[in-house]
Amino acid sequence: MIGTGDFTHAGWLSELQEKLEPAEPGLYQLKPELQKALADRVPGSCSSPVRFVLSGEISCIYKREGRTRKVHNLILMPDFESVKELNDRLSRIGT
């Protein structure tokens, strides 16, 4: 399983939607035409099915005792509709 990375970035989200399709609940796979195009570039020992989980990161930055602190939160989402809802909510509070 591979995390997709920053689904909060509009360009990256667009590419994910273009290249992935649902596999099992909450997991995605490359569309068949992409899997086929890459098949001859992957060694046989690495040709197991690959699944992707929609993932992103939100950084919470604050100051404490005169020092900047950062907490990085990894977020996993079950589907693109949930990603859209989260991105809409996040857009209301900052970038």
Q: pLDDT tens-digit profile of 11-63?
A: 999 999 999 999 999 999 999 999 999 888 988 888 888 999 999 998 899 99
Residues with Cβ within 8 Å of residue 47, at least 6 apart in sequence: 39
Band (95; pLDDT cuts 50, 70, 90): low
Total residues belonging to the chain: 95
pLDDT value, residue 48: 86
* Amino acid identity for residue 13 in this structure: L
pLDDT value, residue 93: 86
Average pLDDT of the chain to the nearest whole number: 93
Query: Does this model's pTM top 0.85?
Result: no
